[in-house]
Amino acid sequence: MQFSASMPRASGRRLGAVLACAGLLLAAALFMFVDRRTTPIILWDESRLAVNALEMSQTGWSLVTTYGFAPDLWNTKPPLMIWLMNASIHLFGASELALRLPAMLAALGTLAIVFAFTRRATRSLATAALATLLLTISLGFYGEHGARTADYDALLCFCTTGYLALLFLAVHRRRPGWRRLLLAFALVAAAAMTKTVAGLVPGLGVALYLLVTARLGRTLADPRYPALLLLALAPLAWFYWAREQAAPGYLAAVWHNDLAGRFHDNIATPGATPTYYLELLFSGLFCAGPLVLFAPLGLLRARGRQRQALLFALCCVVALLAVLTATATKLAQYLLPALPWLAIACAITIGQWLPNLVRARRPLARLALLAVLAAVALDIGHRTLVMRYDLLVERAHYPQARYGALFAALHDRGVTRVTVVEPGIPLERIRAYQPQLRYYALLWNRRGMAIDWHPDATIPAAATALASCDPDLRAALLGPGRRGIEAGGCTVAFPRPRG
């Protein structure tokens, strides 16, 4: 075996890249997940998934997710994420952290993919680090429905980013290896089992890229691609059949909730305009929104694999934006699978233009450019800190979110039974929606506390403690014959002792 002087250097570069990636992931985890106190379970939609997972942990593994221990026909997504959350509960016990752990790990995995993809495409640690940083501090990535909450979207983003990156590598080989293709389409299957159609739509970016680069015919000529795609869809098709057999009515609910309802009827965001997603990008969902407009300029300077990677990233973003804009229902989290590719595109463009601009011959021009860059960096940093440590904290504390603190405070006082009065949120199909209360009641029932609740504002005559986190019910709770205390930001009323 012959060794060359370049081999130690290559090994050193790989080790440096691994250490840099590990350091970035550690910093990202500290930024995204570390707080002075645990954020309560969020109302939309984390609390419903938390109930699904907690109930499954009590009733056993199943294809049928439940809410109130009845088949859930509102949250009709496949159960992959619920299974992962259930597994986490079994391993670490029921808690907010255990429920969120799959999403947290998926988010860190996405950052690792972005770093590795950018590093391989550009041969630049700085560009790879920049792409990872831009994604980490984007509110749409780490905020609600993202890395910090037990929702589908972080896992979906991991799966779609993974299979898109693998397919980019595959389509540039005349005969890609089986291992890479199998892994790519395994992630396609996982994305579909996470969020059905939403897991497949980002793949249109690959088709657009192949069309733009005149590679579509050559790729389709390889029979492995269509065969593996059909194989990847088989688990979803089997699940739909088996789930309908287990609890009839599921497919009709899927058609409304996940397909026709989402595409043709606006079931969540009345008044949303066709520019909804572009407005989100510029409002802070992506930390460097204005840079998105300049990302295509990188194509003027990029060459070779960098140009291919930039064009691929732009195709992924454009294809997803086109589909989302055409869809009637518009929600901010739908854009999350595009954020990794926005970060990659912006990082490559900056890497192409910034060095030459900084080396401008005129000192005044160079100084002005550095001043502008510093101002932009400070603005992005300030907005990031405000969104991370102010906006998210404020949005987390709906009144129902206080029930966890309430039950913990009562448990510390030795109270083992409480009756909660909670009118919940009135929705079209649900008179009193109480997912946060239901989650915390299930959690504390497991810990030995008996919790009953009334879904309206009628104050029951009860010998036990009465409690509510609804501030409008405080006066009614503290009626004749009761004494009150504040616990966990909520009101608790006890019967006054006789005599």
Question: Which amino acid is residue 371, in one-letter code?
Answer: A
CA dist., res. 64 & res. 52, Å (int): 9
Residue ranges per domain, the chain? 41-359, 364-396, 400-495
User: Confidence class of residue 343 from pLDDT cuts 50, 70 and 90?
Assistant: very high
pLDDT at 3: 46
Q: What are the tens digits of pLDDT across the range 106-155?
A: 999 999 999 999 999 999 999 999 999 999 999 999 988 999 999 999 99
Amino acid at 291: L
Q: What angle do CA 84, 194, 33 make, to 5 degrees?
A: 55
Q: What percent of the chain has pLDDT over 70?
A: 90
Its sign, for the CA torsion 289, 290, 293, 295, is negative
pLDDT of residue 128: 96
**CB environment 52-80: b (16+ within 10 A), e (fewer):** bbbbbbeeeebbbbbbeeebbbebbbbbb
CB 21 within 8 A of CB 112: yes
Cis peptide before 412 (omega within 30 of 0): no
Digit-coded pLDDT (tens) for 355-403: 776 666 677 766 777 777 788 788 888 788 777 877 666 666 677 888 9
- How many angstroms from the chain centroid is the CA of residue 65? 20
Q: Is the pLDDT of residue 199 over 90?
A: yes
- Give residue 1's pLDDT band: very low, low, confident or very high (50, 70, 90): very low
Q: What is the pTM of this model?
A: 0.92
Angle, alpha carbons 100-104-110 (nearest 5°): 145
Residue 309 binned pLDDT confidence (cut-offs 50, 70, 90): very high
pLDDT at 261: 61
Rounded distance, CA 355 to CA 352, Å? 7
Share of the chain above pLDDT 90, in %: 53
Average pLDDT value for residue range 182-190: 97
Q: Which of 41, 448, 63 is nearest to 242 (CA)?
A: 63
Residue 174: what pLDDT?
A: 84
Out of 105-119, 221-235, 366-380, 464-478, least confident range? 366-380
The span from the CA of 158 to the CA of 87, in Å, is 19
CA atoms of 358 and 46, how far apart (whole Å): 45
